[in-house]
């Protein structure tokens, strides 16, 4: 009887092993399910170290690491308005271990007008972090005090007013769109990055600069704002007139009140969401939760940018980003 029981026990064990192997083979583990993540997660920043996007990514990495229970590393891959980093992301396995930190509309612009080696549909915005609207600045002691002053000066002196922009990005595209619709001849001077462009204005090399609300707080004491690419006034630059209101007297209506404004976003490969929907949902929830950490919220409070903080799923902004892309394509024709 003992021998028969032993044989049955071995047979049961063998059957159990076969069932377990079969379950794993079809992607249905017999235990607790997908234990994602099982290895470190990497955030690829589409811009250089020290910038706003890099700062936000590193701020998020700490609390995200605690939530996921795995190391979260940050690597900078600047170039091509996000094209270099996006290409690197898509070369990795679509398994949720690589995230891109970048900006919209720059990522869509890389496809719409720069002929990137990928499609917009290949990228999925998993989280929208912050909104940083475009802002037109002049020196604090400039005689140009309003946007209307700027327009009148430009019309009276074609080709003489100068503006610095971050070359090749949405700042430059926004300036081109603005002046084309107003029939203004303003000379644009491109720089490698928004900081250099802003410093050129502060140093007097140009008359004005096109920057971003929060990003240009570093020169708040040296600058005066004329125009803000947002639906309402900024508490940081209350003197700036919102875009739609500023353009209404000239019969110009922007595609959106926040047209070509900078949205800080986190992106994954679209294939990741399709292949691993549960992993995608877990990662998205973890990133949203990480933004609620004390360190992250302290940063928002100290910078006084609570009105620009978003922290929502990318799906909620898909339509708005698509509309902006359509406008960009129309400009490129």
- How confident is the model over 56-97, as pLDDT tens digits? 999 999 999 999 999 999 999 988 878 999 999 999 999 999
In the numeric block, the tokens 């609207």 are attached to: 133
Please state, in angstroms and rounded to a whole number, the distance separating the CA atoms of residues 127 and 267.
Answer: 7
Q: What is the average per-residue pLDDT within 256-279? A: 95
- How confident is the model over 12-64, as pLDDT tens digits? 434 443 333 333 333 333 334 579 999 999 999 998 887 778 889 999 999 99
Backbone angles phi, psi at 165, to 5 degrees: -140, 160
Structure tokens at 253: 């209506």
pLDDT reported for residue 14: 40
pLDDT reported for residue 33: 57
Please state, in angstroms and rounded to a whole number, the distance separating the CA atoms of residues 321 and 62.
Answer: 28
Q: Is the pLDDT of residue 280 over 90?
A: yes
Q: Which domains does the chain have, with CATH numbers?
A: 41-131+261-332 (3.40.190.150), 134-250 (3.40.190.10)
């Amino acid at each position: 009887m003992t021998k028969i029981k032993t044989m049955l026990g071995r047979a049961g064990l063998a059957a159990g092993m076969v069932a377990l192997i079969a379950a794993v083979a079809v992607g249905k583990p017999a235990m607790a399910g997908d234990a994602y993540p099982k290895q470190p997660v990497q955030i690829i920043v589409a811009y250089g170290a020290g910038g706003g996007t890099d700062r936000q990514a590193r701020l998020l990495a700490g609390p995200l690491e605690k939530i996921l229970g795995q190391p979260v590393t940050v690597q900078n891959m600047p170039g091509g308005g996000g094209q270099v980093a996006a290409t690197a992301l898509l070369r990795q396995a679509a398994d949720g271990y690589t995230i891109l930190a970048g900006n919209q509309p720059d990522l869509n612009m890389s496809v719409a007008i720069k002929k990137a080696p990928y499609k917009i549909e290949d990228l999925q915005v998993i989280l929208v972090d912050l909104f940083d609207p475009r802002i037109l600045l002049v020196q604090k002691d400039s005689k140009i005090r309003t946007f209307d002053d700027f327009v009148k000066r430009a019309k009276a002196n074609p080709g003489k007013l100068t503006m610095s922009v971050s070359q090749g990005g949405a700042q430059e595209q926004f300036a081109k769109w603005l002046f084309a619709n107003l029939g203004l001849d303003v000379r644009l001077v491109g720089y490698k990055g928004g900081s250099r462009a802003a410093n050129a204005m502060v140093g007097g090399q140009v008359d004005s600069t096109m920057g971003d609300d929060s990003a240009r707080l570093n020169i708040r004491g040296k600058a005066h704002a004329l125009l803000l690419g947002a639906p309402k006034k900024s508490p940081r630059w209350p003197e700036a007139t919102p875009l739609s209101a500023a353009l209404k007297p000239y019969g110009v209506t922007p595609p959106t009140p926040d047209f070509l404004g900078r949205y800080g976003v986190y992106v994954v490969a679209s294939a990741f969401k399709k292949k691993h929907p549960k992993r995608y949902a877990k990662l998205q929830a973890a990133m949203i939760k990480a933004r609620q950490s004390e360190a992250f919220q302290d940063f928002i409070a100290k910078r006084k940018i609570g009105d620009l903080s978003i922290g929502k799923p990318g799906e909620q902004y898909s339509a708005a980003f698509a509309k902006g892309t359509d406008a960009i394509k129309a400009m490129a024709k």
